[in-house]
Amino acid sequence: MPADLSPLIAATAQWLTYAYPSSGGPLSCALVEAQARQAVTVAAWLRYPTPVDIELVTMAGPGGSARLDWLTGADAAGPDGADRADSADEDAWRTWVDEVVASWAASLLSSPELAVAAVTALAGSWHMDGVAVEFRRLTAPDESDRRAAALLRHPDLLAPIAELHHLQLLDHLGPEPEPEAVTNC
C-alpha cells in the first residue's frame, strides 16, 4: 500500500476553510478551498518528506484539531456552552487535522515569499518525482484569489496559528540566502 497523506491534507485544509471561510459565493468558496489545499499540501510534503514518515503519521495519527479549535474559538463547546458530543460522528474528520501542518500552511498563506521558498524546497523531493504540479494559487494569487481568501490570507488573523510552529518551519527550510553585498564605487 503506497504512502498517502490525502486524509491528513483533506482534513487540515477543511479545518482552515472552516476557520477562515470565504465571505463570497460558490466561486469564492472554491478559490479558498484551492488555496487552503495547496498550502496544506506543501506544508504536509515538507513535514512528511518520505514514505516512512507518512506511514508513521498514518499509524500514530496527526493529533487532531483540539488546540487549533481552542485558539480560534471553535472548540467543542457550542454557543450555549453545551458540549457537542451529539455531533462527534460528523466531526470525526477533525482527528486527522495536523496542528503543525496547519501552522505551516498558515505561515505560507500569510507570506508569499515564504510560500515560494517552501515550494522551491520541494523541488527535489520524493513527492515531486514524476509529478507535474503547480502551486500558483499559493505562490502567486491573483486579485480574485486574494479577494476570495481575505480571511484565509490575513496575517493578523492567521498569526495565532502561524506562530505555533513558525520557527520550526523556518528551521526546516534552512537559512535564508544572504543579501548580495553592496559595493561603494
Q: Which amino acid is at 69?
A: D
Q: What's the grid cell of residue 63?
A: 493529533
Residues 138 and 110: their CA atoms lie apart, in Å, by: 10
Q: Is pLDDT of 169 > 60?
A: yes
Q: What percent of the chain has pLDDT over 90?
A: 74
Residues 157 and 151: their CA atoms lie apart, in Å, by: 7
Residues 115 and 41: their CA atoms lie apart, in Å, by: 12
> What's the pLDDT band for 166 if we cut at 50, 70, 90?
very high
Q: Is pLDDT of 80 > 70?
A: no
Position 56 scores a pLDDT of 95
- What number is the average pLDDT over the span 104-121? 96
**Stated pTM of the model:** 0.87
Q: What's the grid cell of residue 56?
A: 508513521
Q: What's the grid cell of residue 139?
A: 505562490
Position 23 scores a pLDDT of 83
Q: How far is CA 153 from the centre of its chain?
A: 11
Mean pLDDT, the chain, whole residue set: 87
Position 65 scores a pLDDT of 96
